[in-house]
Amino acid sequence: MAIVASKGVYFKKVLVGVDGSEYSAVAFDYAVHYAQEQHLGLTIVSVWDEDALNVYQDLDDNYVQTQHRALEISMEEYRHAAEDRGVQQVATLIVDGQPGPAIVKEVIPQVKPDLLIIGAKSKKEADMTQIGSEAAYMVKHSPISVLVIR
């Protein structure tokens, strides 16, 4: 089943960006509810941004491996949470790079979603290492509809 948006646009697959912030948690909750209610596929994406690491973190292989493994575990928890709430088709994805360009240029062409849902802080609260801080980029450059949750 697909939901019809304005002017005959059909949403069949939702992509939600998560980064561990409270704003992405709200976006995740909305995306899960929407996907479950409308019987849509859901892909959960997180971006590993090595450029956000300081030089000491970047040089410490153990730190990088530990943090990356923690992200993998977190993504599995997101997947289980979505499945536990009744979403039938759930996938997870971790990509490397700056969140906005990585999601728009790599993830969207690969996953082929119809709708991107992201959480965003207000401009005065923005943290440049989180997906929400890239909301303006994604809204401007995304080839698909984008829903920004605050």
pLDDT of 47-103, one tens digit each? Answer: 987 666 556 565 667 867 788 899 999 999 999 999 999 999 999 999 989 899 999
Cα–Cα dist 2/10, whole Å: 6
Q: What is the overall mean pLDDT for the chain?
A: 85
| Domains observed in the chain | 3-143 (3.40.50.620)
Torsion of CA 119, 124, 129, 133, to 10 degrees: 40
Neighbours of 130 (CB within 10 A): 24
